[in-house]
Amino acid sequence: MKRRNFLSSVSAGTSGILLAGPMVSHAKSPKKGYAFTTTTKELKADVVIAGGGLGGFAAALAACRNGLKVILTEETDWIGGQVSQQGVPPDEHNWIETHGAPASYREYRNRIRDYYKRNYPLTADARNRPHLNPGDGSVSRICHEPRVTVEVLTEMLLPFISTGKLTLLTEHKIEAADVSGDEVKSIQAKNLKNGDALVLHAPYFIDATECGDLLPLTGTEYVTGTESKGQTGELHAPEVANPKNNQAFTLCFAMDYQPGVNNIIDRPKDYDFWSNYEPQMDTPWAGKLLELNYSDPRTLKPKNLGFHPEGKKTGEMLNLWLYRRLISKANFVSGTYDGDITVVNWPQNDYFMGNLIDVSEEEFQKHVDGARQLNLSLFYWLQTEAPRPDGGQGWPGLRLRGDVMGTEDGMAKYPYIREARRIKAEFTVLEEHVGAENRRMVAGDEAGKTSADFYDAVGTGYYHIDLHPSNQGINYVDFGSLPFQIPLGALLPQRMNNLLPANKNIGTTHITNGCFRLHPVEWSIGEAVGMLMAFAQRKNVPPRAVREQRNLLGEFQDWIRTQGLETHWPES
């Protein structure tokens, strides 16, 4: 089965629409000279963006806002990336309501709250809450349903679609590129519904795909996996590089709970395997994967977890039900919901058995199918064997919610990708720039209280460095970082002139990816790249010239600040 079949087979949305060792390095030959057929069509724009996740969305929003004509493609039928098609509520920092992200990102968050207040029967208390959190999940201040993000993001794009500035192509996958020297001339997209080819021409291209798919297609140099300590000097880097060592991916799923109802699914075909599976890590896991424990990310010692689908306390342990809860029935008028709705993105369904980066479509699909079997096994275990506080076993009333994820089986439309191909950039962000301990070591105790000050900053972000266990048996790597800036140099490939990244494929290392991969940072990257394209076109210079020429850089930074992008954290 091809990867596109996985995506289309689980979709329950609309059809595709056309709306108006050594350093791990790769430089593959691009796919060129694709054949035109009677079904091949061509479109032109100022910018072509591949990938409709948060980075691609923000890039399109910024480019359209500043007068460019944009084509935005998306492999699934939902825009929004990790917060929608992957089902992951926003992972954010403590200051997100006021700063540490672009103004447009905070507008998006406020629109989410407003959507619920306009359309849902909220309680008076919830409706009057300025910082409404629909799910009251503990992981985010704005846990909400993926479908609401799709509605809000689409609403934000509609003025540009209506005026012809934006052509949105969902269910289109980029499969080839035409490259001449250091320039991308065009890329070819495939309509996943009917197989038709579409050639997209533009002076600028943005790779906002979840895995950095345009990099090998265009021959852009990139790295994968883990760099060694000798290559980067990073405190937490291993002694030996491993290009195949990537963080586990997760196929999230949604569920609710109906007390007194028997919703037990058929025993999954791989249940015997997964119910007995014990992760083999460089440091010992707590036991079997399908148990309410895991390795504490900071100490790597066994740590117990709780689970109660009625939201009741589980002692001092984290109740996994509340962790990524999307809907708390207490926020809605009595009778609106039978119970809460939560999404499962837990240690128990991180998939360690294979890699999704630089593999064939068949290999990709095999591991996604394996993750689906893991999910079904975990869900069946929760229904039948999970320990209950009353001494019983299992919660038969648990129910998969495909309608919440926009799929038939309750699984997300696309796997949650934590780590992608990363460009070999003009500047690479290292642990010494953003990691709290490493920063103090290189800058001293006083200077090390803040992250590195980048002269070419085009955004800000913050999250602790959070690396999930890997497909190569490396357990959690999790430690403190500092509020950081996003340097323009990390967004510029060393060689390619008109292709820029706008997702998890920027110039970070395996280590620093751990704090750059989160929702608001991806948005910040995308918006900066979209504005860079508009600025470069207006000045008639290549994007890299904006960084090379300090007068242009200063003008660009002043300009993006007028549109709500932040380049520095407040001194306090």
The three state secondary structure string of 403-419 is HHHCECCCECCCCECCC
Using CB atoms within 10 Å of the CB of residue 551, give its burial: 0 to 12 exposed, 13 to 18 middle, 19+ buried. exposed
Q: Could you give the 3-state DSSP secondary structure of residue 522?
A: helix
- The three-class DSSP label of residue 370 is helix
- 433-492 confidence digits (pLDDT tens): 999 999 999 999 999 999 999 999 999 999 999 999 999 999 999 999 999 999 999 999
> How is residue 3 written in tokens?
């990867």
Helix (H) or strand (E) holding 131: none
Among 250, 214, 235, 207, which residue's Cα sits nearest to residue 512?
Answer: 235
Q: Which residues have C-beta within 8 Å of that of residue 391, sequence separation ≥ 6?
A: none
Cβ atoms < 10 Å from Cβ of 349: 22
CB 171 within 8 A of CB 30: no
Say which residue the tokens 């992008």 belong to: 565
| Paired sense of beta strands 293-295 and 302-304, if any | antiparallel
- pTM for the full model? 0.94
Tens digit of pLDDT at every position of the chain (572 positions): 333 334 333 333 333 333 333 334 455 555 555 655 556 799 999 999 999 999 999 999 999 999 999 999 999 999 999 999 999 999 999 999 999 999 999 999 999 999 999 999 999 999 999 999 999 999 999 999 999 999 999 999 999 999 999 999 999 999 999 999 999 999 999 999 999 999 999 999 999 999 999 999 999 999 999 999 999 999 999 999 999 999 999 999 999 999 999 999 999 999 999 999 999 999 999 999 999 999 999 999 999 999 999 988 888 899 999 999 999 999 999 999 999 999 999 999 999 999 999 999 999 999 999 999 999 999 999 999 999 989 999 999 999 999 999 999 999 999 999 999 999 999 999 999 999 999 999 999 999 999 999 999 999 999 999 999 999 999 999 999 999 999 999 999 999 999 999 999 999 999 999 999 999 999 999 999 999 999 999 999 999 999 999 999 999 999 999 999 999 999 87
Which among 479, 248, 450, 473 has a CA at the least distance from the CA of 349?
Answer: 248
Written as six digits, the tokens of 554 are 């200063």
DSSP state letter for 251: -
Q: Count of CB atoms within 10 A of residue 558's CB?
A: 10
CB atoms within 10 A of CB 12: 13
What is the 8-class DSSP label of residue 346? S
Residue-wise pLDDT for 361-404, tens only, equals 999 999 999 999 999 999 999 999 999 989 999 999 999 999 99
| Contact predicate 550/560, CB 8 Å | no
User: Computed from CA positions of residues 235, 238, 241, 242, in that sequence, does the dihedral angle turn out positive or negative?
Assistant: negative
The secondary element (H helix, E strand) that includes residue 343 is strand 341-344
Nearest CA to 195 among 209, 215, 175? 175
Q: Tokens 């809907």 belong to which residue?
A: 327
Q: Please report where in the chains the tokens 């058929």 appear, as a residue.
A: 266
**Alpha carbons 224 and 565: distance in angstroms, whole number:** 29
